[in-house]
Amino acid sequence: MSFYLPLIGLHYKNIKITETITALWSGCGEIVRCRLDGKACVIKAISVPDHINHPRISQTEFAINRKRHSYEVEFYWYQHYATRLPSRAGALRCFNAIEHEQHKVLVFADFTECGFVNAKPIHTHVTAIIKWLAYFHAFHFQVKADGLWPQGSYWHLATRPDEYEKMADCAIKQQAHSIDQTIRACQYQTLIHGDAKLANFAVNSSTMEVLGYDFQYVGAGVGVIDVMYFLGSCLNEQQLQQRADDYLADYFKYFANAMHIFDKSAYSHAAINEWQTLWPVVWADFYRFLMGWSPEHVKINAYMQYQITKTNFGVT
């Protein structure tokens, strides 16, 4: 019997599992489609083992605890933050959050029953998600990350000591702490999604409404961190060179509009100026992570390296 069935059985009488959508990262659980008391749902069932087998790197106790805490943050996010979101930066609806000891279950609405599809790397979807990010960041502008990661994203320096140690001695490694400090010192912070890849969004192709999900690394940061990671997840090297600057301009346009809607427009100009300055810096920071995690990764490309040349941190 799956570990989560007794848990959900305490809350639902009629349980019908219809499909296993995917396993969670390295044996930490699974996501299944089901019907609970007749309602179409998707369950994210979480149980982090004491030892994780990863094909790329050995998992230290630090890394396992990072993963375990990420699920605790996501659980807290859906309990305390998700229901407050504005309609233009909505999240997948969470019906229930259940936990017992090391086991956690999040019960979501099945977005496929509501006209949504997994986001695709097409212009209309990319633009819609850029707009979602802008509204998400404006809504949470200068909001404290209570109960979340004090520094959002899964690749920032403090949360990746193992990868830092594995890096070859190079300019980017020597400058890693300066890069991190530059980002953290930004006066204008918001809450970032922290794992804003294309696969973590759903889009209604009729209305272009967007839903975000997988908030394991949500926390404090600057908005361009999410934009950088998102564009890197859905554009190849040539597309980044051709379109990234235009998408970034669109993001700042939407952000300014959202700041006006949320009565924060007094800060828009200054925040945009600072975040524009940090655009190449956040690329350098992600490059630092990749060089320790997977130096041959396809995301290390000419656009990324060009952005780094615009900083003082070097690329070799």
The pLDDT score that the predictor gives to residue 53 is 61
Query: Do 1-114 and 117-316 come out as alike in CATH topology?
Result: no
The pLDDT score that the predictor gives to residue 58 is 61
Does the structure show a pLDDT above 60 at 315?
no
For 117-316, CATH number? 3.90.1200.10
Does the structure show a pLDDT above 60 at 237?
yes
The pLDDT score that the predictor gives to residue 48 is 83
The residue assigned the tokens 């975000």 is 212
The residue assigned the tokens 């749902």 is 41
Residues 133-186 have pLDDT tens digits of: 999 999 999 999 999 999 999 999 999 999 999 999 999 999 999 999 999 999
Per-residue pLDDT, averaged over 209-225, amounts to: 98
The pLDDT score that the predictor gives to residue 55 is 56
Domain boundaries, the chain: 1-114, 117-316
**Mean pLDDT, rounded, of the chain:** 93
Please write down the long-range contacts of 172-176, taking CB distance under 8 Å and 24 or more positions apart. 172/284, 172/287, 172/288, 172/291, 172/308, 172/313, 172/314, 172/315, 172/316, 173/288, 173/291, 174/314, 175/284, 175/312, 175/313, 175/314, 176/288
Answer yes or no: are the C-beta atoms of 227 and 243 closer than 8 Å. no
* The domain made up of 1-114 is a member of CATH 3.30.200.20: yes
Per-residue pLDDT, averaged over 280-291, amounts to: 97
Residue 247's alpha-carbon distances to 70, 188, 205, 290, 300, in angstroms, are 29, 21, 19, 23, 19
